[in-house]
Amino acid sequence: MSEKFPVCPVETTLQLIGDKWKVLIIRDLLDGTRRFGELKKSVGDISQKVLTTNLRAMEENGLVTRKVYAEVPPRVEYTLTETGYSLKSVLDALVHWGTEYKSRK
Amino acid sequence: MSEKFPVCPVETTLQLIGDKWKVLIIRDLLDGTRRFGELKKSVGDISQKVLTTNLRAMEENGLVTRKVYAEVPPRVEYTLTETGYSLKSVLDALVHWGTEYKSRK
DNA sequence: CACAATGGTATCCTTAAGGTAACTACGGCA
DNA sequence: TGCCGTAGTTACCTTAAGGATACCATTGTG
């Protein structure tokens, strides 16, 4: 049944992507599937530990899927789920606002 | 002249409202001017110290204006600037996504 | 055999964020 | 006189987040 989320939908969203790192991960995954190492490079100054922690949480929340290939060395790919991809509208808003803000300076 | 912001507009936005509390403050100020005490109640479980800190930062970044009335006891009102109000589009996206997410559960 | 590459986990330590409580100014009021 | 309420500031302490480092499994290659 429905898990308990805050009444305010803003708080619900913050609960899922209120973390700076998660937003940046989604930004990069919106362009398509990425390997762990690729994300580590593209997200920016993120440590392996933090990246792993965030990806696990996002998987838990149904925002990304994790696919492990039985190769050596191992290959792990992360892809946005449909729900995760639907965050594109939020990211678009962030991009738009950030661009506007900078241009006003 | 232009201060230095990250190249990525998403990071610029996060730099300004990447904090959970700031988002909630903006959510409440979108309905109109609020007194300090009103915000403290409506934002949720926020301490006076953290609320003050965030409001100061947002004032610094030109998102809110602070107006002090020379009364006793003192009255201080916070209002979104035009720039701050323009975050409505971002908040709308957060509301919309959060609502959708909850309904999928 | 030793090592490289990838995607982790485990441990320890430091730093930053936030909580709590005490204190301030001010004038009104009983 | 002493207390009330608002909107703070300050000091101190606790907790959580994150950094750094070491370690692991696997297998093809030199």
- Here the tokens at position A27 are 């930004």
State what percent of residues in chain A have pLDDT above 90. 88
Do B55 and A46 contact (CB within 8 A), yes or no? no
Segment (H or E) for A16: helix A9-17
- The nearest CA of chain A is from the CA of B98 a distance in Å of 5
Domain-wise residue ranges, chain B: 9-104
| Residue A77 banded pLDDT, cuts 50, 70, 90 | very high
**Taking chain B, what is the end-to-end CA distance rounded to the nearest angstrom?**
48
Which 3 state secondary structure label does DSSP give A67? strand
**Nearest-angstrom CA–CA distance, B63 and B41:** 20
Neighbours of A29 (CB within 10 A): 23
Cα(B22)–Cα(B16) distance, rounded to whole angstroms?
8
What was the pLDDT predicted at B3? 60
Average pLDDT, rounded, for chain A: 94
Contact (Cβ atoms closer than 8 angstroms) between residue A93 and residue B90: yes
The mean of the pLDDT values for chain B is 94
Sort B42 into a burial class: Cβ within 10 Å, 0-12 / 13-18 / 19+.
middle
A chain contacts of residue B101, beta-carbon cutoff 8 Å: 12-13, 16, 83
Task: Please give the nucleotide, over all strands, whose C1' is closest to the CA of residue A66.
Answer: C7
Distance, CA of A43 to CA of A51 (rounded, Å): 9
Say which CATH architecture domain A9-104 belongs to: Orthogonal Bundle (1.10)
Residues in chain B with pLDDT values less than 50: none
What would the mean pLDDT of A27-49 be, rounded to a whole number?
A: 96
Contact yes or no for B30/B91 (Cβ under 8 A): yes
Cross-chain CB nearest to A93 (options B3, B89, B98): B89
- Which bases in strand D are touched by protein, i.e. have an atom under 7 Å from a CB? 4-11, 18-22, 25-28
pLDDT value at residue A36:
97
